[in-house]
Structure 1
Amino acid sequence: MIDYLDLALQYGGFTSLDKVYLARKLAGLTDQQKLDFITPPPSVINAYFAEIYQKQGAEEATDYYLTLSQQLSLFPKEPSFAEEKPFVRLNLSGKAFGFAYVDGTGLAQVFAEQDVEVAENLLFEIAQIFPHYVVFEQAGKVWMKGNDFDETILMAEETEFLLTDVSVSDQFVKISGLNQEEVLQAAEKYDGQRYVAWSGRSAILYIKH
């Protein structure tokens, strides 16, 4: 049995002073109507996200949004600016984007307000904002998920590039360096699904066999 009053107090921005008001408003509503009522508006979610990002960091901000999405069932069927559910807005290269979790595992989709080309520069820009995630393109859509690549199984490989390191395993290749274009150049000889990441000043590509 879901305690919607408790959810409202923990995640909806309501306080204990609102208990009587909430109980009256929630009475007689369906489960979905209750969730809709207690869900904070997009402006509030975005303000909290931005504040946490600035004060605590990217991982803490996404943890907040993921927990909110899990508790209030904010997973949209098709994330878009039609805003079926609230989402977090992003400004990427001066264009309007958003991201939303699509399920409780932490898989997220990044989407644009207007149609844009999904180029690797865009993926790297997203990775710089969320360095604890890997960013990838699949079926013409941009996705993010937690970085679960096990780098302990990697072995260094010799390379002719001055600013780029290449490590390999029987599962994936990791290419990292201070020059993004050189990283992409080094990746040309490898086939597989690409995952973009960022660490400090380094651009990173994981290529899954």
Structure 2
Amino acid sequence: MTDIKTMALKYGGYTSLDKVYLDQLLAGRSEEEQLALITPPPSVVNAYFAELYQKKSPQAATDYFAEVSKELNLYNVEPSFTEESKPFIRLNLSGKSFGFCYEKDGQGRIFSEAKEIITDELLFEIAQIFPHQLIFEQSGKIYMKAVGDEEVVTVQNLTALTDLENLADGRKRLKGYSQEDLLQEAKAFTGKLYYRSENRTAMLYFD
């Protein structure tokens, strides 16, 4: 792990003028206490995430939050809106409150404030917000992970709106401009299902 004081300067909003103050603030405290002290409040994390998302890209925003989560130990396997000891990113999906955190390195988690039914529409809506991520459901929970490198080996036209692509790693991908058409064609396939949306193109992946 990076030196605590270095992380405070990089992520916590402190400057080089605060080094003596930081030495006094952190002295004699456990690593857990030190991390809690230098972790920026949820409002700051959300504001910086939103700024990166708008001014750079969705990937720049998630890269920032992934880095902060790793360095400041913000990983959370049981996130909720009632316990905010660890900052998370707030999302508004169809007028309802959701949160985004990382459970572990490389695996994001989307969770709702109130109990919500997980639908294809919801998963595609999340995919539209994070076009560089694959969205999937597992054990009644919503997760996301980076798309990664992809190489298309063959392409087959299934309908006027939907193509079937075979990827070099063995996965299959349905790709088209109509989510409804895509979901209809997906009924013919088996395997773990991943959702993605980019540039108005909807995609479904099968392991």
TM range, smaller chain? over 0.9
Q: Which secondary structure state, in structure 2, belongs to the residue aligned with residue 102 of structure 1?
A: strand
The answer for the alignment partner of 2:176 in structure 1 is 177
Shift of 1:86: 0.7
Residue correspondences, number? 205
Whichever residue aligns with residue 165 of structure 1, its letter is: D
Are 1:76 and 1:84, in contact at CA under 8 Å, matched by a contact in 2?
Answer: no
Q: Which secondary structure state, in structure 2, belongs to the residue aligned with residue 126 of structure 1?
A: helix
Deviations 1:131-160 (A, max 9, x none): 0000000000000000136333x322242x
Q: Which secondary structure state, in structure 1, belongs to the residue aligned with residue 92 of structure 2?
A: strand
Give the TM-score taking structure 1 as reference length: 0.94
Are 1:107 and 1:144, in contact at CA under 8 Å, matched by a contact in 2?
Answer: yes
* 1:35-114 equivalences in 2 (<5 Å): 35-81=35-81, 82-104=83-105, 106-114=106-114
Shift of 1:2: 4.8
Give the TM-score taking structure 2 as reference length: 0.94
Matches of 2:148 and 2:31 in 1, distance apart? 35
The answer for the alignment partner of 1:167 in structure 2 is 165
Q: Which secondary structure state, in structure 1, belongs to the residue aligned with residue 136 of structure 2?
A: strand
* 1:116-195 equivalences in 2 (<5 Å): 116-148=116-148, 150-152=150-152, 154-159=153-158, 161-168=159-166, 171-195=170-194
Q: Which secondary structure state, in structure 2, belongs to the residue aligned with residue 176 of structure 1?
A: strand
Which 5+ residue runs of structure 2 have no aligned equivalent? none
Matches of 1:196 and 1:158 in 2, distance apart? 19
Q: Which secondary structure state, in structure 1, belongs to the residue aligned with residue 100 of structure 2?
A: strand
Cα 1:150–1:18 change in 2 (3 A) is same
Stretch deviating more after TM superposition (106-115 or 18-27): 18-27
Are 2:161 and 2:176, in contact at CA under 8 Å, matched by a contact in 1?
Answer: yes
The answer for the alignment partner of 2:33 in structure 1 is 33
Matches of 2:139 and 2:148 in 1, distance apart? 21
Matches of 2:102 and 2:200 in 1, distance apart? 27
Which 5+ residue runs of structure 1 have no aligned equivalent? none
Q: Which secondary structure state, in structure 2, belongs to the residue aligned with residue 37 of structure 1?
A: helix
Shift of 1:80: 1.5
Matches of 2:150 and 2:60 in 1, distance apart? 22
